[in-house]
Amino acid sequence: MSGARHRLIGFMVLAGGLVFGQVLWAASSGEGGEAHHTNWGDLLIRTINFAILVGILYKLLKKPITNFFITRRQNIENLLKELEQKREEAERKCAEYKAKLAILDKEAESILQEYIAQAEKEKAKILEAAERQANYIRQQAKLAIQQEIKAAKDDLREEVAELTIKAAEDILRKKIGMEDQNRLVEEFIVKVVEAK
């Protein structure tokens, strides 16, 4: 409040000084810029009139201007408080979201490790079954004649691939999701084809 009052008084003193200076200048110079004798009585009346005008303006404008500055200051303080509250709320939400993200990252890592472990178990089972089937094919191939060896290998490989794929599909349907099932079956088929 005192700052607003000081500004108001300073403004009025400045305005008074400017008007008073103009009155002196006008009183000291005549028309056409000629210097003439100063009429001190006229200057005194003008100064008193100006002082009365300043006093009236001060009386009339003091309260509205003071209220304006008080209201303005309160509005700025309220705005600053509101902005501070919003900043604190944003920081709190940011910390909350960071904590949630950290939890989600841990859960995602846990789920990923679980799927990897299941896939490794299924891989071992599939490889074990494939190894058993390969041993069986080798034993049968040794007993067959040379001409039937090629045909027997082709038939057995196709049969092994189908049985293994079916067994893998059954196991994978029970253990993992469709996306993982499709991926593992495709990998096994590629391995069986490469083994030929």
Whether residue 32 has pLDDT greater than 60: no
| 62 within 8 A of 55, measured Cβ to Cβ | no
Looking at the structure, tell me whether residues 113 and 186 fall in a common domain.
yes
In a domain, 98, yes or no: no
Task: For residues 79 and 169, give the distance between their C-alpha atoms in angstroms, rounded to a whole number.
Answer: 65
* 37, 78, 100 from 40: Cα distances, Å: 9, 53, 84
Gap between the Cα atoms of 74 and 68, Å rounded: 10
Question: Does the pLDDT of residue 171 top 80, yes or no?
Answer: no
Q: Would residue 91 count as lying in a domain?
A: no
Task: Yes or no: say if 23 and 40 are a contact pair by the CB < 8 Å rule.
Answer: no
Q: Are 57 and 12 in contact (CB under 8 A)?
A: yes
The count of domains in the chain is 2
The mean per-residue pLDDT over the stretch 163-179 comes to 69
Tell me the residue range of the domain where 43 lies: 2-82
Cβ atoms of 171 and 185 closer than 8 Å = no
Residue 166 structure tokens: 């079916």
Give CA–CA dist 186/98, Å, rounded. 39
What pLDDT is attached to residue 64?
86
Q: Tell me: the pLDDT tens digits for 59-85? A: 888 888 888 889 999 999 999 999 999
Pair 116, 191 in one domain: yes
Of 48, 82, 116, the residue that ends a domain is: 82
User: Is position 89 within any domain?
Assistant: no
- pTM over 0.85, yes/no: no
Provide the residue count of the chain.
Answer: 196
Is residue 128 located within the same domain as residue 68? no
Does residue 146 share a domain with residue 75? Answer: no
What's the rounded Cα separation, in Å, for the pair 105 and 158? 43
Query: In terms of domains, do 115 and 187 share one?
Result: yes
CA distance 175 to 116: 12
Distance from C-alpha of 139 to C-alpha of 118, rounded to nearest angstrom: 32
65 with 124, same domain? no
pLDDT, mean of residues 151-160: 72
